[in-house]
Amino acid sequence: MKAQQIDHVYNENFVHLQINHPFIVNFEGLAQDSRYLYLVLELINGGELFTYLRDVESFTTDQARFYGATVACCFEYLHNKNIIFRDLKP
């Protein structure tokens, strides 16, 4: 329960409540038990892009363009809301 962790959770919650974009996983809310705090996110079947990329080893040019464009759209949306996302993972 360090103050830095609490601030991080508040900031994460604040940012998630401000965004609504088709290429960004929806934030459903918070839940907690006696030990943990949970960020509840929308279920996206298929897993993470990184896992998919690891399984297929490489994308076709069209796939790379599509995924690159969706990420660029997300950054554009977030930056237009003055939100900087620095933890990008495929």
Predicted pLDDT of residue 77: 95
38-44: long-range contacts at Cβ-Cβ below 8 A with a sequence spacing of 24 or more?
39/9, 39/12, 39/13
Predicted pLDDT of residue 8: 79
Q: What is the C-alpha radius of gyration for the chain, rounded to an integer number of angstroms?
A: 16
Known catalytic residues are 87
Domains annotated on the chain, with CATH: 3-80 (3.30.200)
Question: What digits encode the pLDDT tens for the residues 8-43?
Answer: 788 888 888 899 999 998 999 889 898 888 889 899
- Model confidence, pTM: 0.75
Question: What digits encode the pLDDT tens for the residues 35-90?
Answer: 888 889 899 888 888 888 899 999 999 999 999 999 899 999 999 999 887 766 55
